[in-house]
Amino acid sequence: MAKQDEMKVIDLNGVRVVVTGASRGLGLAMAEALLESGATVALAARSGARLDREVQRLVDEEYDAYKMPLDVRSEESVAEAVSWVHKQWGGLDVLVNNAGIGMRTVNPRFMVEPQSFWQVTSDGFRDVIDTNLTGYFLVSRGFAPMMVEQGKGKIINVSMNHSTMRRKGFVPYGPSRAGAESLSYIMAEDLLPHGVTVNMLLPGGATETGMIPEELKTQLKMPLLKAEVMAEPIVFLASEQSDGITAERIVATEFEGWYASRLD
């Protein structure tokens, strides 16, 4: 069987995964793809009816899914999540950092009426940075010692296009994602001697995830990507086929070409 064919039938049975921001959007799509490939997945998100509903649906479909109430901005909440994994699973194979909030939290009309950085409130700036950047740091810091002790593990940090980091009116979302990419590269270096890899995964364009208000979608000049674009690359990155790959920035819409280039 060709290597590209092998990639399409990846079996993640026995692989333990935590996905943050998993009650909707990219996080839910990635959690479902991992579950469909046989992984055991804790869907981590803030407590609420949405998380309850999605986890129950997946359990009813006989997937090995678990509910993990988590506020990535809270050290106490992260510590509780780490403790749960220790007690229930005894270790963690894959951490997917995805939880985030978008520009609509500081400017609901950000796509058509960009707001200059000096018009952004300090509270709005802090909220996005605390979730999208500090949240990645806190969750990674919480689970990294477990992986270091194991001598193996994979961390995948969800990011966004570089154009988003430079676009007019995209403070603080752009800086939050740029900071998360720098964090990812440094994490990869720090964890390299311990057998733990760190990679970045991004959709490759604006996605149908709820971050763009419904009333603005008709005004967009480009089609929105489906969240499922993340499915194939996240399954690959969670599998043994990605062993040894670290500090890579993988664009989901370009995944097949990226993968093929590694076979040359």
Let me know if residue 1 belongs to a domain. Answer: no
Let me know if residue 54 belongs to a domain. Answer: yes
Q: Domain limits at 38? A: 13-263
- pLDDT tens profile 8-31: 689 999 999 999 999 999 999 999
Number of domains in the chain: 1
- pLDDT tens profile 215-238: 555 555 567 899 999 999 999 999
pLDDT of residue 3: 44
Domain containing 218 — which CATH number?
A: 3.40.50.720
Let me know if residue 3 belongs to a domain. Answer: no
* CB neighbours of residue 52 within 10 Å: 13
Let me know if residue 8 belongs to a domain. Answer: no
122-129 and 173-191 helices, crossing angle to 10°: 30
Let me know if residue 165 belongs to a domain. Answer: yes
Report the chain's mean pLDDT, rounded to a whole number: 93
pLDDT of residue 130: 98
Let me know if residue 125 belongs to a domain. Answer: yes
Contact 156, 95 (CB under 8 A): yes
Contact 207, 229 (CB under 8 A): yes
Let me know if residue 6 belongs to a domain. Answer: no
Query: Which residues are part of the catalytic machinery?
Result: 173
Q: In what order do the strands lie in the sheet with 16-20?
A: 65-69, 40-45, 16-20, 94-97, 153-158, 196-202, 249-251
- What percent of the chain is predicted at pLDDT more than 70? 92
pLDDT of residue 206: 83
Phi, psi of 99 (to 5 degrees): -55, 130
- pLDDT tens profile 30-45: 999 999 999 999 999 9
- What percent of the chain is predicted at pLDDT more than 90? 85
| Preceding amide of 172 cis, omega within 30 | yes
Let me know if residue 72 belongs to a domain. Answer: yes
